[in-house]
Structure 1
Amino acid sequence: MKPQRIDKTERLSRVVVHNKIAYLSGLTADDKSLDTVGQTTQILAKADAYLEKIGSNRSMLLSATIWLRDIGDFDGMNRAWVDWIDKDEPPARATVEAVLGLPDIRVEIQFTVAIP
């Protein structure tokens, strides 16, 4: 079966679905003037929109990789994260400090999710 590609550009697909697994590209906030909590909240809202689009939900998240510009923002990011995740079905997760693509990006999150 050919993978389904959602929101394609010349560089990437925002989501690739194959064999009932969806791979979301690294998501960043639209309003990059926000602090880490605000950017994380915007990213998670984007993830919700993609989950709805593919017919999945937070309980089906398999993994998340989170990149922070400043690991000192770990607690702030976690406040938004813990409010958002399915508390009974949390995904596997890694969080690292990284140099991100633009200087005003504070957080980038990539997801892998099952589709029921």
Structure 2
Amino acid sequence: MSIQRHITNHRLSEAVVANGFIFLAGQVPSIDTPDAEAQTVDVLKQIDKLLAELGSDKSKILEATIYLTDLANYDALNRAWDAWVPAGHAPARACVKADIANPNWLVEIKLTALA
């Protein structure tokens, strides 16, 4: 079995491809705004970019785990998510409240997709 690691450092790989699956590390916002919807849109754009670089796309996402620092942002997250997910391709999904490494990040998304 071949394992390919992409965008790596001593601590993590942003993506690992193995056996036809793509495992993304938790993706966090690259923008500094207190707007959870804008942060979610930013994270989803990063996911689109990573998947495209690996020959995949959001229609091939199998599962996603979403971490929110405050469940009051759940509706804002869902507005961005619902506009992004292709009709008929909603993945299995969990959303939990969690402390995230950087207090300015309101959302983090980790997922698995087909290559």
User: Offset at 1:34?
Assistant: 4.1
Residue segments in structure 1 that go unaligned for 5+ positions in a row: none
| Percent of residue pairs bearing the same amino acid type | 37
Once superposed, what is the RMSD of the aligned Cα atoms? Answer: 0.8
Residue segments in structure 2 that go unaligned for 5+ positions in a row: none
Specify the code of the residue in structure 1 equivalent to 2:40: T
The answer for the alignment partner of 1:61 in structure 2 is: 61
Contact kept, 8 Å, 2:3 with 2:16, in 1: the verdict is yes
Q: Secondary structure at the match of 1:27?
A: coil
The answer for the alignment partner of 2:19 in structure 1 is: 19
The answer for the alignment partner of 1:91 in structure 2 is: 91
The answer for the alignment partner of 1:28 in structure 2 is: 28
Displaced runs of 4 or more, over 4 A: none
> With structure 1 as the length reference, what TM-score do the two structures score?
0.96
C-alpha separation in 2, matches of 1:21 and 1:71: 30
Specify the code of the residue in structure 2 equivalent to 1:102: N
